[in-house]
């Protein structure tokens, strides 16, 4: 029911980190293949790229490389194993995204499996008090799922997202991988960040009216349940969306490797989608990876109460037939907010384009 496909996550110790910088690597490449670019129009240096990723305005979480201040922060790499081994921020620790999507079954529905996720964070040597910088190829769903996992477990240190992704990094880099010293990650789960299937069922009929906001992050074709659309998930017994939900496809949050312009995002959610900055807003997708990107963006824009339906449409659509009256699916009443955006690298969630 999730929107993730498993990948090989074994990290054998195949080499030590190299003491080099991304700037020096790019300079070497330029010397080999672009001999005389000084003064040429359109040439960007690593410093230019890093500077362009700087965030302006009252935006939480996201920072460009030039804005990072915590020298002792632990860098968490959310990219694929292959990309990490090829090159990464010096000293970074890879967090396999599928390992922080684990869910546990409650009577009220699926919720994040705090014990399993805490075990993953401990396996990379992390403790709750450490400041962290999370990065990927972009600022897409892989990165935001790691951030959500940290926040859900009650992480105490500062959590920063590297805007621009790895391509914007111009500091020291490493290659290969090392096995970190494991720790015990003591989790303090924050259930105020999630809702369950039954929590939603109890409020059907009130969303985006007098009750909480409800955002569907999937492509419009999936939200509408368009017959024979390529975006539909074959394993779903029903198609459509949760009653009252507004559709805002999550990829509109991202412009290549960077966060989309914050003012544009504020207009998208607080004006076009009608999100209440002070009231509760629930986000959901097909599974529990892609919707965390919208969850993170809304929190970065200072929305006070943003929650994730971790079970997602995959859980809701596939309840037994006898329970469908309590968990209805809607197709007729629709509100689609048009978005534009593209996700660079492999940070599109790496799982499913359906949210």
Ranges 190-204, 212-226, 337-351: which has the least confidence: 337-351
Residue 203 scores a pLDDT above 60: yes
Residue 126 lies in a domain: yes
Residues 78 and 161 reside in one and the same domain: yes
Mean pLDDT over 182-202 rounds to 97
Q: 197 and 167, same structural domain?
A: no
Residue 321, Cβ density class (10 Å: 0-12 exposed, 13-18 middle, ≥19 buried): exposed
Judge residue 28's burial from the number of C-beta atoms within 10 Å of its C-beta, 0-12 exposed, 13-18 middle, 19 or more buried.
Answer: exposed
Clarify whether residues 132 and 275 are in a common domain.
Answer: no
Same-domain pairing of 203 and 269: yes
Structural domain contains residue 355: no
Give the Cα separation of 33 and 36 in Å (integer): 9
Distance CA(61)–CA(253), nearest Å, equals 14
In a domain, 182, yes or no: no
Q: Residue 49 pLDDT more than 70?
A: yes
Quick count: other Cβ atoms within 10 Å of Cβ 351?
25
Residue 346 — pLDDT band, cuts 50, 70, 90?
A: low
Residue 179 and residue 288 in contact, taking contact as beta carbons nearer than 8 Å: no
200 plus 167 within the same structural domain: no
The reply to whether 100 and 214 lie within a common domain is no
Model pLDDT, residue 180: 82
Indicate if the pLDDT at residue 262 is higher than 70: yes
Distance (Å, rounded) from C-alpha 184 to C-alpha 153?
Answer: 13
269 in the same domain as 221: yes
Domain end among 174, 204, 232: 174
**Average confidence (pLDDT) over 123-132:** 97
Question: Do residue 85 and residue 115 come from a single domain?
Answer: yes
pLDDT score recorded for residue 343: 77
Burial of 31 (0-12, 13-18, 19+ CB in 10 A): exposed
CATH number of the domain residue 62 falls in: 3.40.250.10
Tens-digit pLDDT profile for residues 32-41: 333 333 334 4
Are 117 and 217 within one domain? no
Among 128, 145, 174, which residue terminates a domain? Answer: 174
Q: Determine the structural domain holding residue 272 and report its residue range.
A: 191-342
Q: Measure the CA–CA gap between 300 and 103, rounded to whole angstroms.
A: 25
- pLDDT per residue over 157-177, tens digit each? 999 999 999 999 999 999 987
Phi/psi of residue 330, nearest 5 degrees? -115, 145
Q: Is 349 among the domain residues?
A: no
Query: Directed axis angle between helix 141-152 and helix 291-300, to 10°?
Result: 70
Verify that 237 and 168 share a domain, yes or no: no
Question: Do 39 and 168 sit in the same domain of this protein?
Answer: yes
- Give yes or no for residue 264 having a pLDDT over 50: yes
Last residue of a domain, one of 122, 148, 174: 174
In a shared domain, residues 66 and 164: yes
Residue 64 lies in a domain: yes
Whether 186 is covered by a domain: the verdict is no
**3-state class of 248 per DSSP?**
strand
pTM score, two decimals? Answer: 0.85
What does the alpha-carbon distance between residue 256 and residue 274 come to, in Å, rounded to a whole number? 26
The CA-based diameter of the chain, rounded to the nearest angstrom, is 71
What local confidence, expressed as pLDDT, does residue 50 receive?
85
Q: CB–CB of 239/216 below 8 Å?
A: no
Three-point CA angle 96, 67, 277, nearest 5°:
75
| Domains identified in the chain, total number | 2
The answer to whether position 8 is within a domain reads no
- Decide if 104 is inside a domain: yes
């Amino acid at each position: 029911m999730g929107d993730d496909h498993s990948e090989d996550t074994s990290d054998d110790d195949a080499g030590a980190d190299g003491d080099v910088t991304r700037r020096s690597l790019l300079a070497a490449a330029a010397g080999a293949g672009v001999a005389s670019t000084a003064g040429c129009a359109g040439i960007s240096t690593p410093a230019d790229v890093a500077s362009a990723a700087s965030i302006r305005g009252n935006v939480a979480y996201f920072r460009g490389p030039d804005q990072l201040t915590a020298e002792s922060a632990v860098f968490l790499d959310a990219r694929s194993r292959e990309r990490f081994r090829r090159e990464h921020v010096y000293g970074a620790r890879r967090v396999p995204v599928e390992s922080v999507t684990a869910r546990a079954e409650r009577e009220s529905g699926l919720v994040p499996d705090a014990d399993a996720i805490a075990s993953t964070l401990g396996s990379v040597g992390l403790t709750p008090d450490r400041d962290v910088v999370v990065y990927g190829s972009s600022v897409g769903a892989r990165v935001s799922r790691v951030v959500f996992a940290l926040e859900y477990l009650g992480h105490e240190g500062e959590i920063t997202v590297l805007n621009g992704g790895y391509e914007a990094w111009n500091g020291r880099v490493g290659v290969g991988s090392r096995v970190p010293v494991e720790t015990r990650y003591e989790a303090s789960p924050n259930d105020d960040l999630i809702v369950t299937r039954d929590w939603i069922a109890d409020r059907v009929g009130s969303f985006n009216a007098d009750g909480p906001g409800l955002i569907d992050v999937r492509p419009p074709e999936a939200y509408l349940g368009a017959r024979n659309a390529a975006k539909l998930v074959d394993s779903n017994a029903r198609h459509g969306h949760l009653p009252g939900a507004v559709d805002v496809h999550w990829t509109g949050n991202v412009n290549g490797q960077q966060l989309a312009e914050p003012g544009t995002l504020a207009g998208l959610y607080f004006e076009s989608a009608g999100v209440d900055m002070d009231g509760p807003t629930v986000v959901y997708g097909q599974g529990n990876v892609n919707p965390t990107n919208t969850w993170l963006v809304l929190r970065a824009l200072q929305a006070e109460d943003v929650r994730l339906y971790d079970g997602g449409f995959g859980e809701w659509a596939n309840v037994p037939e006898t329970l469908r009256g309590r968990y209805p699916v809607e197709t007729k009443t629709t509100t689609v907010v048009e978005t534009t955006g593209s996700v660079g690298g492999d940070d599109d969630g790496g799982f499913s384009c359906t949210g």
